[in-house]
Structure 1
Amino acid sequence: MHTDDPHLIGRIAAGDKDAMRVFFESHEGPLLAFLKGRGADPQTADDVMQDAMLEVWRSASKFAERSKAKTWLFAIARNKLIDRQRKSSRMSLVEDVPEIVDETPDAEAVMISAADTERVRTCLSKLKPDHLTAIRLAFYEDMSYAEIGEIEGAPVGTIKTRIYHAKKLLLWCLGRR
């Protein structure tokens, strides 16, 4: 099966359930991590992801390829999460940083890595939500500033500033011992 996103979106628009399954499976993990990074608890993240995927199914014919399909999907999910948070009128600022598992068999390397991972997690938890989201999309999802700006509804310059300040804060935090 062809897994190119624009091709899949075209097939989804034509009602191809197999194309929807492939699209879902290829974006499920990153989308859940993105939603959790925006403060959603696991259940809410799963619900919003399902809603966003359902929206893709319903509106695939409206996808105009002005952006990547992944950017389009993440923007849909972000908007659905914001709507849900507004409805519940409680916004969580707790950030869920994904676990980084080190499979190194050397115990000393594992202990050093665990300490480093905890330091990174601690430093990430001190970032403002906007900074953390920008860092995650840029480095974990390999998105461009323009794509992040589209998802966040912010100008590219703002995204560049967020990432610059976040990196500066992370370097300062990680440099302290």
Structure 2
Amino acid sequence: MITLALNTSPDESTTAWALAARSGDAEAVEHFVRALHRDVRRFVTSIGADPQCADDLTQDTFLRALGSLHRFEGRSSARTWLLTIARRTVVDSLRYAATRPRLTDTDDWQSVAERAQPHGLPGFDDGIALAELLAKLPEERREAFVLTQLLGLPYAEAAQVSNCPVGTVRSRVARARTSLIERLHEAENPIPMGAAA
């Protein structure tokens, strides 16, 4: 069993749990998974093409990570390492889906059920609006924005996950912010029909 100092940062804690889990410590595995599950799910949901597959992609990410945990040496934080695996998992999923024929163009039962849910709940519309705005961003900008602004990764770690220079991540985040602000202003202040003519 591993004990952590009180002043340990969340990234240091998850990295310590990952290193302890390498030796088969079941409690460390559980702490590692619990600490990062939400971040992984948010990440795969934001960059994946099909939000309904988020649970499967999250599970697949952890299966891949736990299968290769013996190779994790702690040179980066466990969160950065795991989000890199999550990114590869989503890319592999998208490649696989692109090679399979589509069976139907109709909505599945889950989409229909989600649209039937009440929309007046506090925060519901804001969450939907943010998801819709993020979905309109180019993939690279969305990924950089989610990693740094929603998941709170430092730019250097986001660059490592995205396999690009830090400056590129900074540029993508700045452009994503600009696009999101412009779209938000457009949504809040629609141009009157007569003014457009």
Q: TM-score range by the shorter chain?
A: 0.7 to 0.9
Q: Which moved more, 1:68-77 or 1:115-124?
A: 115-124
- Give 1 or 2 for the bigger CA radius of gyration: 2
The one-character-per-residue Cα deviations of 1:44-81 (angstroms, maximum 9, x if unpaired) are: 32222222212222222321222110010010111122
Q: Give 2:86's aligned residue.
A: 77
Does 1:170 pair with 2:180?
A: yes
Q: Give 1:147's aligned residue.
A: 157
Q: Give 2:103's aligned residue.
A: none
Structure 1 stretches lacking a partner, 5+ long: 92-100, 104-109
Following the alignment from structure 2 to structure 1, what is the Cα–Cα distance between the partners of residues 39 and 181? 25
Following the alignment from structure 1 to structure 2, what is the Cα–Cα distance between the partners of residues 80 and 114? 28
TM-score (norm 1): 0.76
For this pair of structures, how many residues does the alignment match?
160
The residue type equivalent to 2:155 in the other structure is Y
TM-score (norm 2): 0.69
Check conservation: 2:36, 2:79, Cα contact below 8 A: yes
Of 43, 49, 53 in structure 2, the residue corresponding to residue 44 of structure 1 is 53
RMSD: 2.7
Task: Go from structure 1 to structure 2 and tell me whether the alpha carbon gap of 1:102 and 1:143 turns closer, same or farther (over 3 Å shift).
Answer: farther
Task: Go from structure 1 to structure 2 and tell me whether the alpha carbon gap of 1:8 and 1:116 turns closer, same or farther (over 3 Å shift).
Answer: closer
Alignment of 1:96-135 (within 5 A): 120-135=130-145
Following the alignment from structure 2 to structure 1, what is the Cα–Cα distance between the partners of residues 173 and 71? 31
Of 162, 166, 171 in structure 2, the residue corresponding to residue 156 of structure 1 is 166
The residue type equivalent to 1:175 in the other structure is H
Following the alignment from structure 2 to structure 1, what is the Cα–Cα distance between the partners of residues 86 and 131? 24
Structure 2 stretches lacking a partner, 5+ long: 5-12, 101-118, 190-197
Q: Give 2:35's aligned residue.
A: 26
Percent of paired sites with the same residue: 29
Of 67, 70, 85 in structure 1, the residue corresponding to residue 76 of structure 2 is 67
Q: Which moved more, 1:154-163 or 1:56-65?
A: 56-65
Check conservation: 1:120, 1:174, Cα contact below 8 A: no
Task: Go from structure 1 to structure 2 and tell me whether the alpha carbon gap of 1:9 and 1:168 turns closer, same or farther (over 3 Å shift).
Answer: same
Task: Go from structure 1 to structure 2 and tell me whether the alpha carbon gap of 1:88 and 1:20 turns closer, same or farther (over 3 Å shift).
Answer: same
Check conservation: 1:2, 1:8, Cα contact below 8 A: no
